[in-house]
Structure 1
Amino acid sequence: MRTGISTACLYPLELERSFQTLLSLDFRLFEVFLNTFSEFTPDYLRQLRNVADAYGAEIKSVHPFTSGYEGFLLFSEYERRFEDSLEFYKQYFDAANCLGASIVVLHGQRDYANAGISEETYFERYATLYALGQCYGVTVAQENVNKFRSESPGFLRRMRAYLGDTCAFVIDLKQAVRAGQDPFAVCEAMGERIVHVHINDNAPGYDCLLPGRGTVDFQRFREMLLGFHYQGDLMIEVYRKNFSALSELQEARDVVQQLV
């Protein structure tokens, strides 16, 4: 395991400025949050990759800005829109290839209480997207997200049982807490299919804090991951409002580094 950070920590600072700022803090492993269409044009991506290469940095994962619309694009009753969206998501896979990233993060279906598709259809749609990503050498990984279908450990467990080796997961501790779920139950549900971790902390009354600022039992979390033979990294992901000084990100890195 290695320690990394998401550019989302500095949102809404523009991506290239966020990336440069985090590089200046000596981070070298990244999740890149693409925030708009112009940020996955070939010229922009090449410039970002050139900066990464100049610093000896690695971009591990890509987070689509369309994550909030995936229910509409990929998991609605309208089959043709799903097929068209598969073509659209190829742009994310191309972007991942350009940046050297191996993971694309998926949120999935929001407001699922009135979903027009069954769980089985959701799983099959995901499997199609997963297979398409594999053609590009990219793993599409389902994240647990508050207010999305994936907030439920039961759903994640059924997804893993249905798809077996043809699925992958991102666990985000803060998203579990926001959904009123036990992060360890979410981890257990994902099991050996976890390929990526968004690490953060929490405490009573605070669902998202920098690692080391809350009460999460990180040693227990680490042992659980190792029990699932986890081979991925620990990516710090919080919101800009969760810290005051940039030096706090470096302090959080020191905390996470003790787990790797």
Structure 2
Amino acid sequence: MKIGISSACFYPDVLTEDSIKLMKNIGFDVGEVFLNTYSEYKDDFIEKLKEEKDKNNFYINSIHAFSAAFEPNLFDKYKRRQRDMLKIFEMVCKGVKKLDAKYYNFHGMRLSNLLNLDIKHVIDVYNELCYIASENEMTLLQENVSWCMSSNTTFLKILKENCKYPLGYTLDIKQAYKSGGSPLKYIDIMKEDLMNVHINDRDEKNICLLPGNGNIKYEDIYGKLKDIGYNNVCNIEVYKENYVDYSELKKSKDFLANIFI
């Protein structure tokens, strides 16, 4: 496994294009990059990011879009709106391909009552999204997010059983706890299709802390990941309020490396 970092750790203080050099200078060679607004999906900006990643010898493993702005409406039954959102999705996928990233990290539908969903419609949309992603030489990764349908483990099982094109998963540890569940429970569902991990810590008072600053038993998570054969990137993803100095991020990486590598 590799320990990476997410550019989300620096939002909103650091511009996306400047985050790559920063992550490299802190001591990371791989990570996830957030595209934080529509203009960052465009070709000229993607080219700028590509220059930065090549210049700094930094590998972008996964991309995260400004998901709340359009991803929920990919499932809208008003066809015109849905197709407009699909154009944005396709734009992001083309950007991911140009950056040689493997994965598009996806939030998707907002949380609602599972019984009220048109499951056939939902699966049809996922199949189209997964097909578009694969056409752009990447895999769509469904992340478990507390305010999205993906927090519902039954929903995740439905996706696994019914999507006919490749769909992977991202485990976010803090989001698992925010949903009232254990990360181990989500790993049990995602299994061999788990391809990305957002790693963070917590304690009784704080839902998100730098790894090593809370009370999560990472040995249990590592053991479960090892059981399913996981050998990809674990990206530190915290909020800027969770640290004071960048050196704390490197210290957190070293802490995790003693467990996961």
Structure 2 runs not aligned, ≥5 long = none
Aligned to 1:244: 244
User: Could you tell me how far 1:96 is from its partner in structure 2?
Assistant: 0.7
Structure 2 Cα separation of the partners of residues 112 and 59 of structure 1: 33
Q: AA paired with 1:60?
A: N
**Segment drifting more, 107-116 vs 129-138:** 107-116
Partner Cα distance (2:108, 2:94) in 1: 20
The separation in 2 between residues aligned to 1:181 and 1:40, in whole angstroms, is 34
TM-score normalised per structure 2:
0.92
**1:40 corresponds to:** 41
1:132 alignment counterpart:
132
Q: Which residue number in structure 2 is paired with residue 11 of structure 1?
A: 11
Deviation for aligned residue 1:236: 0.7
1:201-249: CA deviation from partner (whole Å, max 9, x where unpaired): 1111211111111121212111211221223211110111111111110
How many angstroms does 1:5 deviate by?
0.5
| 1:181 to 2:205 alignment | no
Instruction: Tell me the equivalent position of 1:218.
Output: 218
Let me know the Cα RMSD of the aligned residues.
Answer: 1.8
Rounded to whole Å, the distance in 1 between the matches of 2:54 and 2:220 is 35
Larger deviation: 159-168 or 109-118? 109-118
Moved over 6 A (4+): none
The share of aligned pairs that are identical, in percent, is: 31
Task: Give the aligned partner of residue 60 of structure 2.
Answer: 59
Q: Separation in 2 of the partners of 1:115 and 1:8? A: 33
Which TM-score applies when normalising by structure 1? Answer: 0.93
Q: What CA distance in whole angstroms lies between the structure 1 residues aligned with 2:232 and 2:71? A: 25
| Shift in alpha-carbon separation, 1:116–1:154, aligned structure 2, 3 A | closer
Change (3 A) 1:32 1:109: same
Whether the 8 Å contact between 1:68 and 1:110 is mirrored in structure 2 is no
Q: Aligned-pair distance for 1:115?
A: 8.7
Letter in 2 for 1:246: Y
Query: What is the CA distance between 1:126 and its match in structure 2?
Result: 1.1
Q: How does 1:140-159 map to 2 (within 5 A)?
A: 140-159=140-159
Kindly indicate whether residue 87 of structure 2 is the aligned counterpart of residue 87 of structure 1: yes
